[in-house]
Amino acid sequence: MTMNEKLNPAHSPVRFDAAASGPMQGVRVIDVSRLVAGNMLSLQLADFGADVIKVEPPGGDPLRHWQNRGESLHWKTYGRNKRSVVLNVRQQADKDILERLIDKADVFIENYRPGTLEKMGLSPDVLLGRNPDLIIVRISGFGQTGPYAKLPGFGTLVEAMSGFAARTGFPDREPVLPPLALADMIAGLYGVSAVSMALLAKKQGRIQGQVIDLSLLESIFSVLGPEAAIYNTTGAVKERSGSASNTTAPRNVYACADGKYVALSGSTQGVAQRIFQTIGRDDMNHDPRFMSNTDRVRNRSLVDEALGAWFIQHTRDEALSIMRSAGATVGPVYDIADAAVDSHFLERGVFVDVEDQDLGSVAMHNIVPRLSGTPGVWRRPAPRLGEHTEAVLREAGIAEEHIQSILSYGGAA
């Protein structure tokens, strides 16, 4: 049995259909960004039918070099449904070609350090002068203006500086950074929303093109919700609380008798009361220390002590069955191996096997979200470096001799 068969036994591999169309059909995107945020943005557009042309340097997007056992599974996931063109934009002739591609585009995505595009002679004013309908997405760590604008914009830095890391982990230990490109992913999704709104405004005739200043810092800061309001109003700086919550109780992760874990949330009064009844502690519903959410948050160590003592007497499956039967909100803590065999993940196709030219098939997350009338499409696998250089340049009317010169330094697979 192959790894992919193990991961997704209920589904045969998804087959690509180059003729498939989605709601973004007719939208052409030129993406010169690197790594996750821009690739996440253009992936969403590509999944719903946009013609995403990924313009890469001769060495390729660095994401291609994040490898697992010799294969870039990151690229196979983030590169799907796109076309790859290789250009060395340090050379004037290739930069001229990039300009011609942008002239015919609806969306241009870049994540150079702020000021770089201007140094290249491709400032937004220049690009909009050539193509007034262009939507320009400028992705950076800290935004195009401000004292930090030209600092390196890696997600790790903004995850730290946004206040996110300071809220993650336990109070007696160091702050914890997310183990994945969270800031980039959030920014990429915000970017999809911004592009969609800009396309709608253009369709309505309210504006032609415009510039989207997409900051990783501001994107991840937004997920802190009312943090700024709370601090400005009360002066309080929320401490790290592990898996507990500063806002509601009970809420935590609890160990079960078989060494597995469950996550529980009692964020409404009725659910909290049912949880206490279920563990045989209805007395807590009448104890002034636990009668309101505010009381429970203030005394959450005692709440966790009572719940922890109950869960450790039951296996995870037993605890889930009892709690769910009582209407309590509880779920298992999964790793990918658990998700791979969960019937809900399989029946919904949360991840799918996708045909792959190197591995036969590759498991990856399905297209999200699910639209009933205009669903996403599987048009092509992640391209080899420069796989579409020749075709795209011919479409753009580039001279044959120049096409051949580009292909000679790596512009084709």
* Helix, strand, or coil (residue 262): strand
* Helix, strand, or coil (residue 157): helix
Q: How far is 83 from 248, CA to CA, in rounded Å?
A: 47
Q: How far is 271 from 25, CA to CA, in rounded Å?
A: 45
If you search the block for the tokens 């970017």, which residue do you land on? 191
| Chain mean position to CA 157 | 17
If you search the block for the tokens 């795209």, which residue do you land on? 392
E-assigned strands of 233-350?
251-255, 261-265, 330-332
Q: Nearest-CA neighbor of 140 among 34, 7, 5, 31?
A: 34
**CA distance readout (Å), 315 to 249, 250, 260, 307:** 23, 20, 8, 14
Q: Which residue is catalytic, options 47, 61, 106, 184?
A: 184
Q: How far is 84 from 71, CA to CA, in rounded Å?
A: 17
Q: How far is 308 from 2, CA to CA, in rounded Å?
A: 39
The pair of three-digit structure tokens given for residue 313, joined into one six-digit string: 């007497």
Residue 287 falls in the annotated catalytic set: no
DSSP β-ladder status, 28-31 and 107-110: parallel
Long-range contacts of 262-265 (CB under 8 A, 24+ apart): 262/311, 262/316, 262/319, 262/320, 262/323, 262/330, 262/331, 262/332, 262/333, 263/330, 263/331, 263/332, 263/333, 264/307, 264/323, 264/328, 264/329, 264/330, 265/329, 265/330
Number of other CB atoms surrounding residue 368 within 10 Å? 10
Catalytic residues: 184
